[in-house]
Amino acid sequence: MSTVSEGELEHWFEQGMQSYTNESRFFSCLIRAMVYAYVPVSDDSKNVRLIQFRHPDGYDAIPFFTSAQRAARSSFNGLRTIRLPCTTLFEQTRGATLMVNPNDGGAVLFPEEVATLLQSGTLETFEKVSLGEGPVDVRPATSAPDNLIRALDGNVPLPPFIREIYLLEKRAVDGRSSRASLLIYAGVEARQMERGARHLVSVVQALDPRPEDIVDVAVFDIAQAKPGFLDEIGGIPVFASGD
């Protein structure tokens, strides 16, 4: 597997920041590149210990950088920068959350996504959009693909922070003739909302065959009162943890 130059990696990082359609190309370059991370200046440990920071959403993550310049711009006293293959970084930090170029709006990579990158050599991306403007008619799904139902009802291992999953369909109220789209609506622990949504996106992306229609994913805080519309439409979860 050929090594990607720092200049090419930087180019595709910038392209990925401009459009999510370029993100897969960036990730395929990232896994073949050298990257930069922080370690303590003084460390008595025999093993390399990387620095973690607290993400604003409340979890710890390891920052790393696509260029020496980005790493130097973010560094401060007590740290030094090391350069290493991205694959080595990912393999030696399995189970951790990482942030690429955190001061420049780069992606958070959750453990499941790191594992996918190591296995497949890239990472499929998705577009973050609102669930639609104007009133929407939501009801339990009646024609979801069988493999999607099986994936959500426990046949695919789900992380413990995903506690409930509803499979719904939605359509604009003013477009009765429009085709309904599927909506995966999940109750997730508050600190893991984004990770839960992205995990479910990855579940959909891994289906074979893929659903022909668009599948949206939305989450709610499982610790709060269940959204009232679920009872109004007779929503029954296709998955509920035993907790």
Q: What percentage of the chain exceeds 70 in pLDDT?
A: 90
Does residue 126 form part of some domain? no
Does residue 185 form part of some domain? yes
Does residue 109 form part of some domain? yes
Torsion from C-alpha of 226, 229, 234, 237, nearest 10 degrees: -40
CATH code, domain carrying 58: 3.40.1350
Does residue 131 form part of some domain? no
The H-or-E segment that residue 12 falls in is helix 6-18
- The count of structural domains within the chain is 2
- Inform me whether the pLDDT recorded for 3 exceeds 60: yes
The pLDDT value recorded for residue 35 is 97
**Residue 99 shares a structural domain with residue 23:** yes
Does residue 42 form part of some domain? yes
User: pTM value?
Assistant: 0.81
CATH code, domain carrying 210: 3.30.70
**Residue 98 shares a structural domain with residue 187:** no
Where is the domain boundary, 54, 86, 120? Answer: 120
Q: Cα(83)–Cα(95) distance, rounded to whole angstroms?
A: 21
Is-contact 171 181, C-beta < 8 A? yes
Does residue 1 form part of some domain? no
The H-or-E segment that residue 180 falls in is none
The pLDDT value recorded for residue 181 is 86
Q: What percentage of the chain exceeds 90 in pLDDT?
A: 62
The pLDDT value recorded for residue 62 is 96
Interval 191-234: pLDDT, tens: 899 999 999 998 998 888 988 878 899 999 999 999 999 999 99
Does residue 37 form part of some domain? yes
Residues 6+ away with beta carbon under 8 Å from 131:
170, 183, 216, 218
CA-derived radius of gyration, the chain: 20
Q: Cα(240)–Cα(243) distance, rounded to whole angstroms?
A: 8
Mean pLDDT of 54-83: 87
pLDDT band at 2 (very low <50, low <70, confident <90, very high): confident
The pLDDT value recorded for residue 125 is 76
Domain range spanning residue 72? 6-120
